[in-house]
Amino acid sequence: MSLPKTEYDAVVVGSGPNGLAAAITLREAGLSVFLIEGKKEIGGGLSTQELTLPGFLHDTCSAIHPLAAGSPFFKTLPLAAHGLQFTYPQVAAAHPFDDGTAAILHGSVEDTAQLLGADADAYRRLMNEVTAHWPLIDRDVLAPLHFPEHPIAMARFGLKAITSALQLSKRFKTREARGLWAGMAAHSIQPLSNLTTSAIGLVLMGVGHLQGWPVPLGGSHAIARALASYFVSLGGKIETGHFVKSLQALPSAHAVLFDVTPRQLLQIAGHRFSSIYQWQLNRYRYGMGVFKIDWALDDAIPFTAEGCRNAGTVHLGNTIEEIAAGEQLAARGGHPEKPFVLLAQQSLFDASRAPKGKHTAWAYCHVPNGSTKDMTEAIEQQVERFAPGFRDRIIGRHTMNTAQMEAHNPNYIGGDINGGIIDAGQLFTRPALRYSPYRTSAKGIYICSSSTPPGGGVHGMCGHHAAKQALKDIFNIQLHPSHANHRTFSAANAG
């Protein structure tokens, strides 16, 4: 049975990594696809701008990209042919302590373990299993809830991932191993006592050992530009500078996929949804926000610990106890005097980010959702704590509180860069409890943002899976499950 004639087979609203992944998946399946972006440039959180001084390029949101380089979908795309190049810092991540030493995430489990003293064997046991199984389970971890291809390997990972970071930390005895672990788990942007906070720590450490934590040359926008270039090369169409506020503003299509969070989806298409689905979306929970700083520097950050001076990412928080207390306070509405700070040093490895001899630095801390408190002093004191003389090297500064983060990207509700908290209550039910999390209650309307599984991060898997669901539902196109890129398909009624 043929579908009625429309202007496009599919329309995608929003050009973040998930919107771009959805558009590419649909276009690779042979559909006519129109991608609409509200801002003048595509990319969403994949944005790079001169925020401080001329010649200093700063990533406005995402900066270091282990999941982009390791994405099961992105790895199948010819992004290098479309200009994307990664550089790999000598040290993936470092975690300094007050005594001037640091725990280091090296490229291999063994190199990392050797620096953890009495916890060397415990670290080997934990991470050797994760790295051995990750190539078997990466597509299942970065997917909605389903029966996995390798159930035993997935179960072994899942039993660790579902625990709280504080519970898993009991495997370790040393300050170094516990601190390193806490910094990784704190990427979950929730209290370390919450269930599932071990998941992101295990993924980031495992991917770090397998491939490192790379920096895209030229800035994070290079990822978006490569994805967009490939999409256009396939015959896809992109329009920028057009914020969609209603369904009536869209061209006719059989399927519309929204790279937005539940709040915007309700505003745009809520009148088409069932009362139950509206109720579910209204109950969707957003997590902590972030306060972000970008610096222009006249020299590199003078970290006391040498390992930090060679690291792309530095976690500033000292001990696991200090980090856990700070994250718990922020989740309860407070502002830690010594916040956990995630810091990136892209210009150490990408000379294009700053004028010769100068550098950039990027950092943020977690704050209550919607907070407008200026955390500049607290963040800079944390950097100075581990890098005395840092402030003397600042020649430019740009800050963004949660309201400014949301103004920059409407998906960052209250400064939440994960599209909603990824705790036990929303890990597999984001944005609603449904057989398919990507379907809405209205036929032909889908959500493909990080508010769907597997959640935040630059990997495109939310968009890829949403597009697969739309292809199956609307166009009777079944993508072959045995292919990482799923380009093998059977189609009927496409076009």
- Do 131 and 195 sit in the same domain of this protein? yes
- Do 420 and 280 sit in the same domain of this protein? yes
Please state the pTM of the whole predicted model.
0.94
> 385 is written with which tokens?
């704590």
The residue out of 153, 187, 210 marking a domain boundary is 210
Is 341 within the bounds of a domain?
A: no
Is 424 within the bounds of a domain?
A: yes
Is the Cβ–Cβ distance between 257 and 466 less than 8 Å? yes
Is 448 within the bounds of a domain?
A: yes
The residue out of 210, 230, 255 marking a domain boundary is 210
Which residue shows structure tokens 């992105």?
A: 74
pLDDT digits (tens, 9 = 90+) for 221-235: 999 999 999 999 999
What's the number of domains the chain is made of?
2
Is 303 within the bounds of a domain?
A: no
Is 138 within the bounds of a domain?
A: yes
- Do 131 and 186 sit in the same domain of this protein? yes
- Structural domain containing residue 170: 119-210
Is 250 within the bounds of a domain?
A: yes
The residue out of 180, 210, 240 marking a domain boundary is 210
- Do 481 and 446 sit in the same domain of this protein? yes
Is the Cβ–Cβ distance between 58 and 73 less than 8 Å? no
- Do 131 and 203 sit in the same domain of this protein? yes
Is 394 within the bounds of a domain?
A: no
pLDDT digits (tens, 9 = 90+) for 364-416: 999 999 999 999 999 999 999 999 999 999 999 999 999 999 999 999 999 99
- Do 486 and 423 sit in the same domain of this protein? yes
CATH of the domain at 427: 3.50.50.60
Is 86 within the bounds of a domain?
A: no
| Per-residue tens of pLDDT for the chain, all 495 residues | 578 888 999 999 999 999 999 999 999 999 999 999 999 999 999 999 999 999 999 999 999 999 999 899 999 999 999 999 999 999 999 999 999 999 999 989 999 999 999 999 999 999 999 999 999 999 999 999 889 999 999 999 999 999 999 999 999 999 999 999 999 999 999 999 999 999 999 999 999 999 999 999 999 999 999 999 999 999 999 999 999 999 999 999 999 999 999 999 999 999 999 999 999 999 999 999 999 999 999 999 999 999 999 999 999 999 999 999 999 999 999 999 999 999 999 999 999 999 999 999 999 999 999 999 999 999 999 999 999 999 999 999 999 999 999 999 999 999 999 999 999 989 878 999 999 999 999 999 999 999 999 999 999 999 999 999 999 999 999 986 544 444 433 333 333
pLDDT digits (tens, 9 = 90+) for 41-83: 999 999 999 999 999 999 999 999 999 998 999 999 999 999 9
